[in-house]
Amino acid sequence: MRIVVIGSTGQLGTDLIKTLEDGHEVIGLTHSDIEVSDYDSCLVLKEYKPDVIVNTAAFHKTDQCEEEPLKAFAVNTLGARNVALISKELGATTVFISTDYVFDGTKKEPYTEEDIPAPISTYGISKLAAEHFTHQNPKHYILRIASVFGKAGASGKGGNFVETMINKAKKNEPIMVVDDMWMSPTYTKDAASVLKGILELQLPYGLYHATNKGYCSWYQFAKEIFNITGLNPDLKPTKTDPNYGKAKRPPFSALASTKLSKHNLETRGWKESLRAYLIEKGHISQDSS
Ligand SMILES: NC(=O)c1ccc[n+]([C@@H]2O[C@H](COP(=O)([O-])OP(=O)(O)OC[C@H]3O[C@@H](n4cnc5c(N)ncnc54)[C@H](OP(=O)(O)O)[C@@H]3O)[C@@H](O)[C@H]2O)c1
């Protein structure tokens, strides 16, 4: 397949390129190659005559989206619309990367693909609207991921949670992490492998949850980072400050897939992926147990 990846220098984009290059012709487009919110700029996609267009571009600083809703909707929503319309015209498959923030977080068990979204933030609303626009190309996959960590770090957020925790620990800073907000972490390498599998196995078009398996609170996630690395900072659990940030965040946004397992495409558990990431990043050695 000839596959265009938009956002090729991003955290997920970087691993998508590496993973998909094994067996496919991959063209990576950076932000200087394409502005997804601008339809004319998106016409560049036509030059590559792709079979698949993967859109990882997003404005995903959640609090900033509350302050800049026009930008959130321009990049996340209209961007998705532009990509879907051009893919459709080309007869190409659209892949849109979405988020657990399409849910309000009131469910007490992991959300599956069948659950009805009810976003509570501008970011979540803009991504859910983007999912709807993506439907305008019947040949589409929507992959929902969450709490992403990957070797490149999020360019839009300047790193990821794992690196933030390790940096704080190395500086001997006391660390407080919420233990009342639950999510399913996603290792970008694993999400990239899932997408490769979906494309190669030609799974039915539609929506897939593609986080790592299982879920944890942010405190438990931090604890496991230090458990694996052997770092021993002053880590304490805390409760979510209702006045923190401008955006409302779902208190429980764990995701589970009822669809991938039917096609033998299950992801690893989050602890196993975290260990693999820490090895890839050089924080621990391959043979550390
Ligand atoms: N990070 C998370 O925890 C998380 C959680 C759930 C879902 N997601 C979704 O996963 C996807 C990938 O996230 P990520 O962590 O890989 O993000 P990222 O590292 O910030 O990567 C996004 C990429 O898109 C590019 N980009 C941003 N705005 C653009 C625009 N208007 N036009 C064209 N390119 C643009 C960025 O380039 P520049 O940096 O040069 O602008 C960057 O290369 C996003 O759709 C996000 O909504 C992320």
Residue 285 structure tokens = 């050695």
- Do 127 and 119 form a contact (C-beta atoms < 8 A)? yes
Phi, psi of 248, rounded to the nearest 5 degrees: -80, 140
Residues that are catalytic: 123
Residue 248 has pLDDT above 70, yes or no: yes
pLDDT tier at 153 (50, 70, 90 boundaries)? confident
Atom index in ligand 1 nearest the CA of residue 12 equals 16
Helical packing angle, 218-229 and 161-170, nearest 10° = 60
**What average pLDDT does the segment 181-197 reach?**
98
pLDDT of residue 230: 97
pLDDT of residue 156: 65
Question: How much is the CA Rg of the chain, to the nearest whole Å?
Answer: 18
pLDDT of residue 242: 86
pLDDT of residue 286: 85
Burial of 106 (0-12, 13-18, 19+ CB in 10 A): exposed
Atom index in ligand 1 nearest the CA of residue 37 equals 31
The one-letter amino acid code at 262 reads K
Gap from CA of 7 to ligand 1 centroid (Å):
6
List pLDDT tens digits, range 154-179.
776 668 999 999 999 999 999 999 99
Pocket around ligand 1 at a 6 A CB cut-off: 6-7, 9-13, 31, 34-37, 56-58, 60, 75, 79, 97, 99, 145-148, 154-156
Q: What is the pTM of this model?
A: 0.97
Gap from CA of 124 to ligand 1 centroid (Å):
14
Could you give the CA distance from residue 130 to residue 144 in angstroms, rounded to a whole number? Answer: 12
Residues 6+ apart with CB under 8 A from 249: 62, 101, 105, 120, 121, 181, 240
List pLDDT tens digits, range 81-112.
999 999 999 999 999 999 999 999 999 999 99
pLDDT of residue 243: 86
